[in-house]
């Protein structure tokens, strides 16, 4: 195990808007290290009045930012990307301590955030319109313009990556942003703002941390025409209801109960590895994209499960700040309790627990919210563990023998974010990929995102697409201009 590392805590724990730090009217609440139970100190809790102040600052900054040349916006964004890369280790360690995910994974998160700042900076000249022929003496053209103030609310499983990366597209499009980082893990957002303070004009990027009142106020604010959320389905519905009152533009990346399908002709070792990788055990399955339902053909079921259980041994809960740790902590006691209830429910429903299902025995982890990777076999599609999003390291293995029945079961849940298919047969791959009701499909792979390809869900898994030019253009609205010469 590596030696102790120094965590650089932020000097500021207040709200950041208008280019300055502000004492919150809503007060402060403590934030915690979920791996040790240690209090990491107070953090700002924005109320509706705080949100209103932040929105006013963003609104005031929008006039000049929207008029800034796209190339100049891009240059500033690239400076932000450089700062992220220069401080990747520091920010990753802070996230590991505050959200419980392993520091090695959090380092990749910071790099991913920097990559998205560079990516969207490079696309600013693609915010194009068209000219439409109208005949002699008339010029007709369409243009794309920013909305104004964008409110973004993000989840706790990737605190810095979501806070930073999800501000990139709206900024590149000329909007100003009021960002609400996760209430459970806001520290990296504060530190990031300390590091980039002065790069962007005051009011262009603002941070308001807080709980339900903060998120509700941002969603409902009359001067925020666009709200975007990464979170749960119930939260997404609440944001959509608030937005509907003002006919706001809404994008949502919500939950998932994603399927990984293994055909009898699949490369079994690759399939077993993909089933494990797709579960995102590194961050305890706390991922909306996790392939938490594994459909394995009955002819290869036992062999795939055996190989998979061997590969899962790589993931052992450990202290997130240790670079050697392969699996971190659950974010909170309440989330741990929820996961444990589902594990008990799986047993009660008749599924067979074949791996994990309990808290680790290591005394060094006794004060944290840890749970072992957990696998159930003999799961049927009607069980709750096969239908409801657990958001934890619980994998349900479902045996199948008829493709039509299996695909119907895959699509029976209300979610539709990701899906994975393992087969050597190109016809199987195309057929399954076309039939799965989800927005992001892997074939002979599971887990990774690919910058430049659109990521988003079907059904209750969300509205809109991210990580692509589609995300950038979604933060613009069309205008037609007809000029009679």
The phi-psi region of residue 330 (left if phi > 0; otherwise alpha if psi is between -120 and 50; otherwise beta) is beta
Q: Within 13 Å and on the Cβ side, how many CA atoms surround 156? A: 29
Distance (Å, rounded) from C-alpha 123 to C-alpha 126? 5
Return phi, psi of residue 138, to 5°: -135, 135
Active site residue 288: yes
SS (H, E, C) 16-30: EECCEEECCCCCEEE
The Cα angle at residue 328 between residues 367 and 376, in degrees rounded to 5: 100
Distance (Å, rounded) from C-alpha 366 to C-alpha 207? 34
Q: Which has the closest alpha carbon to 286: 106, 409, 444?
A: 106
- For 240-336, list the strands marked E by DSSP: 249-253, 259-262, 293-297
Which pair of tokens denotes residue 404? Answer: 């039509």
Sheet with 15-17: list strands edge to edge.
Answer: 20-22, 15-17, 205-207, 176-180, 149-153, 226-230, 249-253, 462-463
Active site residue 253: yes
- For 23-148, list the strands marked E by DSSP: 28-32, 39-44, 130-132, 138-146
DSSP state of 281: G
DSSP state of 372: -
Q: Which of 43, 214, 260, 288 is catalytic?
A: 288
In Å, what is the CA distance from 307 to each residue of 269, 275, 276, 371, 480? 7, 10, 10, 21, 59
- Match 């349900």 to its residue by tokens: 396
Distance (Å, rounded) from C-alpha 451 to C-alpha 467? 6
Other CB atoms closer than 10 Å to residue 264's CB: what's the count?
17
Burial of 136 (0-12, 13-18, 19+ CB in 10 A): exposed
Q: Which of 43, 99, 214, 253 is catalytic?
A: 253
Q: Within 13 Å and on the Cβ side, how many CA atoms surround 446? A: 31
Catalytic residue set: 253, 288
């Amino acid at each position: 195990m590596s030696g102790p590392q120094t965590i650089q805590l932020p000097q500021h724990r207040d709200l950041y808007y208008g280019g300055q730090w502000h004492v919150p009217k809503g007060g402060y609440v403590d934030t915690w290290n979920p791996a040790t139970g240690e209090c990491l100190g107070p953090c700002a809790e924005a109320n509706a009045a705080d949100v209103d102040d932040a929105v006013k600052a963003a609104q005031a900054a929008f006039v000049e930012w929207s008029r800034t040349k796209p190339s100049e916006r891009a240059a500033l964004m690239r400076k932000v990307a450089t700062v992220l890369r220069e401080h990747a280790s520091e920010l990753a360690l802070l996230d590991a301590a505050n959200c419980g995910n392993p520091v090695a994974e959090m380092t990749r998160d910071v790099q991913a955030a920097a990559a998205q700042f560079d990516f969207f900076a490079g696309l600013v000249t693609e915010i194009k319109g068209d000219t439409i022929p109208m005949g002699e003496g008339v010029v007709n053209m369409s243009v794309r313009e920013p909305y104004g103030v964008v409110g973004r609310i993000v989840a706790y499983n990737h605190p810095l990556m979501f806070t930073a990366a999800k501000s990139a597209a709206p900024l590149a499009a000329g909007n100003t942003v009021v960002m609400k980082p996760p209430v459970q893990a806001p520290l990296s957002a504060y530190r990031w703002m300390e590091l980039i303070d002065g790069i962007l004009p005051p009011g262009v990027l603002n941070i308001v941390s807080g709980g339900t009142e903060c998120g509700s106020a941002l969603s409902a604010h009359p001067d925020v025409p666009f709200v975007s959320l990464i979170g749960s389905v119930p939260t997404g519905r609440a944001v959509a209801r608030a937005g509907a009152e003002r006919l706001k533009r809404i994008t949502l990346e919500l939950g998932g109960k994603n399927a990984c399908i293994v055909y009898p002709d699949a490369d079994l070792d690759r399939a077993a590895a993909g089933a494990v990788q797709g579960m995102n055990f590194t961050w305890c399955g706390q991922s909306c994209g996790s392939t938490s339902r594994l459909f394995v053909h009955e002819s290869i079921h036992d062999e795939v499960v055996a190989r998979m259980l061997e590969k899962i041994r790589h993931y052992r809960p450990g202290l997130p700040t240790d670079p050697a740790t392969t699996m971190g902590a659950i974010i909170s006691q309440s989330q741990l309790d929820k996961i444990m209830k589902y594990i008990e429910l799986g047993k009660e429903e008749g599924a067979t627990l074949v791996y994990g299902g309990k808290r680790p025995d290591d005394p060094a982890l006794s004060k944290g919210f840890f749970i072992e990777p957990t696998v159930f076999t003999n799961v049927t599609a009607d069980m709750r563990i096969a239908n409801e999003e657990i958001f934890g390291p619980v994998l349900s293995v479902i045996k199948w023998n008829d493709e039509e029945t299996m695909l119907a079961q895959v699509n029976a849940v209300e979610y539709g974010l990701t899906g994975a298919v393992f087969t050597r047969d190109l016809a199987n791959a195309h057929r399954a990929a076309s039939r799965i009701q989800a927005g992001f499909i892997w074939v002979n792979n599971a887990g990774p995102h690919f910058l430049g390809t659109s990521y988003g869900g079907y059904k209750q898994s969300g509205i809109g697409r991210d990580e692509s030019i589609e995300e950038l253009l979604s933060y613009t609205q069309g205008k037609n201009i007809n000029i009679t010469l």
